[in-house]
Structure 1
Amino acid sequence: MDFTKILSINVNTVVGKLILINIVVYIVLAVTGVVFFILYGLYTDAFFSLFFLIKPGSGYSILYIIHFVFDIPILLVGLDILLYGYWWELLTSMFIHANILHLGFNMFALKVLGEPLEKLVGKLRLLVVFLLSGTVGNVLTVLTNPTTISLGASGGIFGIAATISFIEYKLFKYTRSLKWLLLVFLISSLPLAGGVPNIIAHFGGLVTGATLGLIYASKLRETYGNIEDYYY
């Protein structure tokens, strides 16, 4: 595994662009939090805003202030969608993370699993997997628990993991990504975002990705050479 490749961002790929967008969004929100709390003399909260957009335990959280005080709906809040039609939360919430650890793990998983999938199926199909899996996971979240507040790219990442796992096994009888999928599942079961993991979104992304994996695999031929060429 070449860690220099993993830590680099290739903006010529869809995966690279998705990672860059997530990082930029985090930085913008973190800086917004720092400025906001400094203006109100809350210097401790300003410092923690660099690392926690949703602060665990007591204290203010810039994401809640933006969403509920400034009335800029960017998190996934089921009642917002059901009562007010804020459907864009299904998408915006996929690019927002609660803290550095939450962002870092999701971007690592997106890099390791997303780039090989993009090489196999192409840019457009990769984007479809990520957005559709994440959206389906969020829709299921809203329908099953409309009072939940959710955020993060894990639904889309579970979709990518399932898609490449099915394609690998059907075309190459290879199980590397199944092992990554298990690792993603185990780590995503931890409260990385500071609250209860959104298992419903993970499940929705997983089922969507598995379905797309079966569809894509049936259309692909075994002309890719050595499967190791697609991994780090």
Structure 2
Amino acid sequence: MDTLTRMKTMPVTLLLIAVNVIVYLLTVLTGMDIWQGNGEKLLHWGANYWPMTMQGQYWRLLTSMFLHAGLWHLFTNMLGLLIAGMFLEPVIRSFRFAAAYILTGIIADFISIWYHRTTVGVGASGAVFGIYGVFLALLTTPLFRPSARYGFLIYVSMFVILNFIVALFAEGIDNAAHLAGFCSGFITGYLYFFTLSKQDGDRLPQ
């Protein structure tokens, strides 16, 4: 499959990446440091913060998913989204992919501020982990051919495990959001299985 054809099968993935990048550039153009976020400025843009979100500004659960505290934060999240979306979106189709991203991201953001009540939260990582949760759940089902399933099962499992290990030793990583996103995605993946067919599984790019 050539690059252009593959891109046509992942419109939501590309749209989400584009929105995240555009929002990041706008924050930088309005004074945000390119390498690290500023809590006050991020709050102005819609960051997640328990005292504000739970006082009726529930939209922050959504807007915070499209904000990032620095270029490296943005790059790592978008790379993870691109890789997962490249393989998963063609299988579950764009509507399911978008629904899983938003749903798991909101759940992750809520758990994040519930656990970190004095911290300003931003980033797409909860939703990205949600997408990997969906992918891993589907890889444990008969949806895919065994020849295609095992390689991806190893890759996705290693991605998740390594990220959780790194999170144990690194500062500033929101483990609560990652775990909540992944677990909600894993459940969503099993629910999706009952709406998918073998023909859907055969669309897993090789």
In structure 1, runs of 5+ residues without a counterpart are 35-48, 55-60
Alpha-carbon distance, 1:221 to partner: 1.9
Give the equivalent residue in structure 2 for 1:134: 105
In structure 2, runs of 5+ residues without a counterpart are none
Larger radius of gyration: 1
CA distance 1:185–1:18, shift in 2 (3 Å): farther
Amino acid at match of 2:68: H
Residue from 24, 35, 50 that aligns with 1:52: 35
Q: How does 1:144-183 map to 2 (within 5 A)?
A: 144-170=115-141, 171-172=143-144, 173=146, 174-175=149-150, 176-183=152-159
Residue from 174, 180, 184 that aligns with 1:208: 184
CA distance 1:199–1:29, shift in 2 (3 Å): same
The structure showing larger relative contact order (alpha-carbon pairs under 8 Å, at least 6 residues apart) is 2
Alpha-carbon distance, 1:108 to partner: 0.9
Is the CA contact 1:165–1:178 (under 8 Å) kept in the aligned structure 2? no
Give the equivalent residue in structure 2 for 1:25: 23
TM-score, length-normalised on structure 2?
A: 0.83
Aligned to 1:80, the other structure's residue is in SS state helix
Provide Cα deviations, 1:77-127, integer angstroms capped at 9, x if missing partner: 111122x32111101111111111111111111011023221111111101
CA distance 1:185–1:123, shift in 2 (3 Å): same
Is the CA contact 1:9–1:19 (under 8 Å) kept in the aligned structure 2? no
Aligned residues: 198
Residue from 108, 111, 116 that aligns with 2:79: 108
In terms of mean alpha carbon deviation, does 105-114 or 182-191 score higher? 182-191
Give the equivalent residue in structure 2 for 1:66: 41
Give the equivalent residue in structure 1 for 2:205: 230
- When the two chains are superposed, the root-mean-square deviation of aligned CA atoms in Å is 2.8
